[in-house]
Amino acid sequence: MARIELDRVAKRWGDVTAVEPTDLAIADGEFVAVLGPSGCGKSTTLFMLAGIYAPSEGSIRFDAAVVNDVEARHRNVGIVFQSYALYPHMTVAKNIRFPLRFRGVQGADAERRVREAAALVRVDDLLERMPGQLSGGQQQRVALARALVKEPQLLLLDEPLSNLDATLRLAMRSEIKTLQRKLGVTTVLVTHDQIEATTMADRIICMAKGTIQQIGTADDLYRRPASLFVAGFIGSPPMNLVGGEAAGGRLRVGDRDLEVSAASGPVVLGIRPEHLTLGAPGMPGEVVDVEPMGREALYVVDTPLGRIRALAPAQATGPRIGEGTTFRVDDTDALLFDAASEALLPDARIGFGP
Amino acid sequence: MKTLVADETPAAPALQSQAHWDGLAARGRRDRQVRSGLLVAFLVTVSLPILLPYFWMFTIALSARTGGVESIVLWRACAILVPAVVAIGALNLVLHRPMAKLYGASAVIVLAGVAIAWSIGPELHLDNFAFLSNPNFVQDLEGRRQATVESQFPSVWTAFFNSLVLATVQTVMVLGVSTLAAYYLSRFNFAGRASFLQALLVLHAFPAMTLIIPIFLMMYWIGLLDTLTGVILVITTLELPFAVFIMKGFFDAVPWDIEMSALSDGASRRQAFWYVVLPQVRVGLLAVGVFSFIKGWEEYVFVRTLLFDKQNWVMSLYIFWVSEDIMGVDYGAVAAVAVFYVMPSLLLYLFCQKYLTQMTLGGIKG
């Protein structure tokens, strides 16, 4: 178990910067998710923690000791790869035992630890099988056992669930989370799936274009996204983002003038689809499309603010395509971003009127 | 399914009778049998010209007597074996249960064996294989007396041993160098990597024959002329570009992930290569090994150019001089030497083909 610190860590490949100088601290035993679209530098960060890539600048510290030049094999870091990366020519038992041979653990001691690790992820009845004979979920568990058998001070999970089918993903999500709580191992999960990040991790690090956009709990990222990127990336269906111009206490969006405070110049108005109340007295709109999604339905509505998506309970009596409707937005639910810096204007208040 | 039926019989009624479906099913079965029958016939026709010379070589080696070429044994054997093969093929098509197929095939094989023993059994003999124990056999065949020192052949076992050393050492060197070079080319980026790969291809396309005179001169100056070492070095060098290229393909197919995984599991770069990467390319190692062994075993042009001393003869030179010295006298002896020569590569191929044809790398992804 270790406390991990990144101090101005950056990675460059020639002229290309994969990770801009980054500061980060992960507490001992914490479960952190690095969330971002592909190419945002999250895997590079992971491989720098593992010691497979050396950072171009800055320092990585495990428990206050700088480990920049410590080789991957000496870092005692467990990794579960997206492809699981099991050794195809070894049985499950030999796969799990592989890390032990380099730690001088032998004989009955090694046997016992392999069995314990296998039992932990419930693959102890598969020990003599070859990886090719296992299902995706079983391979995933074996990879986890192999990462845990060395009692790592840091566990890295690189998109561990993306090759599983939906049902299995749901099961493994809670299983990994429970296991991490039980063992108390510091864990970094890299993923592009916000559900994975929000359901499993204590804290989420949202990355884009090689920089950290925001660090916080799932709730923080959802309620107070620090930038336009986080606002658009977190939440499904995504937040409505409409451009506007603020001047002298008025905000011009579409052909509506709204009240605004603490904002001026070009801005972006953000409203989550679930914060629009369809049918309540307020602004008029016309339903362009309805997408039923089971419990709820997504309404695409043309409003004076522009085209907006609204999430409402699916009901037979709801407005149909082509019909007019009205909607209301609570003033506290709307967010305002600066269009130039893409940052949240935290003090801005919007009034949608009666 | 319905549209398919409608396409074929436009006037078909909407409700098909059972008889209609049965008819279609019978037609499907018949078509399948005709197709597989045609395929077997085609494959047999194509492989006959390849198999016949080998078969002929074996029959001559086992049946020819001094002074003449008897083709009657070949024709008799063919007259029995061809119907036997056709019969087995036909039984396979007609019979359906595996046990029935097995019994049918065994019956045909026993019948053919009896027929062969009866018709050509008395013609078969091993006299042509006298060369295995008698180094003076060429003179004996020609009715000359004891050979002079100059015309005395070396023992065939000397040539066999030389060939074995040449092929084995060459194979080991090719495997060692090409594996390391290909791994480096596959995994590391260095200045000139792209042009190195292009040069490999050009080298492989370059006809080696054109190099004979320069290589001869180089061997002479270095002092390796008329030594096995020299020939081994030359053939290894000529084999390497192709071997490196093949091995690089195999290394490229090994995912980075398992190597990174080995590194984080505590292996050094070398241990990761040895314990994790190398086992993934064992099919490639086997393929390159078999091909370079056979290449070394069959090499003729360079050994003919670079080796003179009789004690340095390899099998290809041995068979050349046997046919040179007794051509027109005894095809049986030449064919017998040929059978002896072809055996090791044939056995090697039979042993390895099982592994070479199942080119699976095992499951890495789920």
Instruction: Write the pLDDT tens digit of every residue in B33-69.
Output: 899 889 988 988 898 888 888 888 888 888 777 655 5
B356 or A280, which is more confident? A280
Instruction: Tell me whether strands A187-191 and A154-158 are parallel, antiparallel or unpaired.
Output: parallel
- Which residues are registered as beta bridge partners of A12? A17
**pLDDT tens by residue, B243-281:** 998 899 999 999 999 999 999 999 999 999 999 999 999
pLDDT above 90 (res B164): yes
A113–chain B nearest CA distance, Å: 15
Residue among A177, A172, A145 nearest A160 (CA): A172
pLDDT above 70 (res B2): no
Contact flag B362-A75 (C-beta cutoff 8 Å)? no
The per-residue pLDDT for B361 is 43
**Contacts of residue B365 in chain A, CB cutoff 8 Å?**
83-84, 136, 163
Token duo for residue A159: 């998109």
Token duo for residue A178: 């429970």
Calpha distance A99→B251 (Å, rounded): 23
Contact flag B264-A86 (C-beta cutoff 8 Å)? no
From the list B260, B264, B266, the residue facing A103 with the nearest CB is B266
- In the stretch 73-92 of chain A, residues with CB closer than 8 A to chain B read 73-75, 77-79, 81-89
The per-residue pLDDT for B149 is 55
The per-residue pLDDT for A225 is 92
B269–chain A nearest CA distance, Å: 9
Contact flag B255-A83 (C-beta cutoff 8 Å)? yes
Contact flag A163-B260 (C-beta cutoff 8 Å)? no
Nearest Cα residue in chain B from A156: B264
Contact flag A81-B265 (C-beta cutoff 8 Å)? no
**Contacts of residue B283 in chain A, CB cutoff 8 Å?**
none
The per-residue pLDDT for A91 is 94
Within 10 angstroms of residue A264's Cβ, the number of other Cβ atoms is 15
A289–chain B nearest CA distance, Å: 36
**pLDDT tens by residue, B120-136:** 777 777 777 777 777 76
Residue among A228, A305, A97 nearest B275 (CA): A97
Residue among B173, B166, B169, B183 nearest B244 (CA): B183
A188–chain B nearest CA distance, Å: 15
Long-range interactions of B78-81: CB distance < 8 A, separation 24+: B80/B112, B80/B115, B80/B116, B80/B119, B81/B112, B81/B116
Instruction: Categorize the per-residue pLDDT at B320 as very low, low, confident or very high, splitting at 50, 70 and 90.
Output: confident
- In the stretch 54-73 of chain A, residues with CB closer than 8 A to chain B read 71-73
Show the 3-state SS of chain A: CCCEEEEEEEEEECCEEEEEEEEEEECCCCEEEEECCCCCCHHHHHHHHHCCCCCCEEEEEECCEECCCCCHHHCCEEEECCCCCCCCCCCHHHHHHHHHHCCCCCHHHHHHHHHHHHHHCCCCCCCCCCHHHCCHHHHHHHHHHHHHCCCCCEEEEECCCCCCCHHHHHHHHHHHHHHHHHHCCCEEEEECCHHHHHHHCCEEEEEECCEEEEEECHHHHHHCCCEHHHHHHCCCCCCEEEEEEEECCEEEECCEEEEEECCCEEEEEEECHHHEEEEEEEEEEEEEEEEECCCEEEEEEEECCEEEEEEEECCCCCCCCCCEEEEEECHHHCEEEECCCCEECCCCEEECCC
What number is the average pLDDT over the span B341-365? Answer: 70
pLDDT above 90 (res B333): no
Nearest Cα residue in chain A from B262: A99
The per-residue pLDDT for A226 is 92
Displacement of CA A148 from its chain's centroid (Å):
23
**Contacts of residue B257 in chain A, CB cutoff 8 Å?**
81-83, 85
The per-residue pLDDT for B364 is 35
* pTM, to two decimals: 0.78
Task: Give the residue carrying structure tokens 């909607």.
Answer: A327
From the list A78, A131, A138, the residue facing B362 with the nearest CB is A131
Contact B282, B358 (CB under 8 A): no
From the list B264, B267, B366, the residue facing A52 with the nearest CB is B264
**Contacts of residue A85 in chain B, CB cutoff 8 Å?**
255, 257-258, 260-261, 364
**Contacts of residue A137 in chain B, CB cutoff 8 Å?**
366
A352 or B7, which is more confident? A352
Displacement of CA B201 from its chain's centroid (Å):
24
pLDDT, averaged across chain B: 82
The per-residue pLDDT for B1 is 42
What number is the average pLDDT over the span B292-301? Answer: 90
**pLDDT tens by residue, B60-82:** 888 777 655 567 777 888 888 88
pLDDT above 60 (res B146): no
From the list A85, A130, A140, the residue facing B258 with the nearest CB is A85
B366–chain A nearest CA distance, Å: 4
Contact B310, B156 (CB under 8 A): no
Calpha distance B215→B128 (Å, rounded): 38
List the pLDDT tens digit at each of the 354 positions of chain A: 689 999 999 999 888 888 999 999 999 999 999 999 988 889 899 999 999 999 999 999 999 899 999 988 999 999 999 889 999 999 999 999 999 999 888 889 999 999 999 998 889 899 999 999 998 889 999 999 999 999 999 999 998 888 888 888 888 898 899 999 999 999 999 999 999 999 999 999 999 988 999 999 999 999 999 999 999 999 888 899 998 888 888 888 888 888 888 778 899 999 999 888 888 888 888 999 998 888 888 999 998 888 899 998 887 777 888 888 888 888 888 899 998 888 898 888 888 765
Which residues of B sit within 8 Å Cβ distance of A? 255, 257-258, 260-268, 271, 275-276, 279-280, 361-366
Contact flag B260-A79 (C-beta cutoff 8 Å)? yes
Q: What is the ipTM of this complex?
A: 0.83
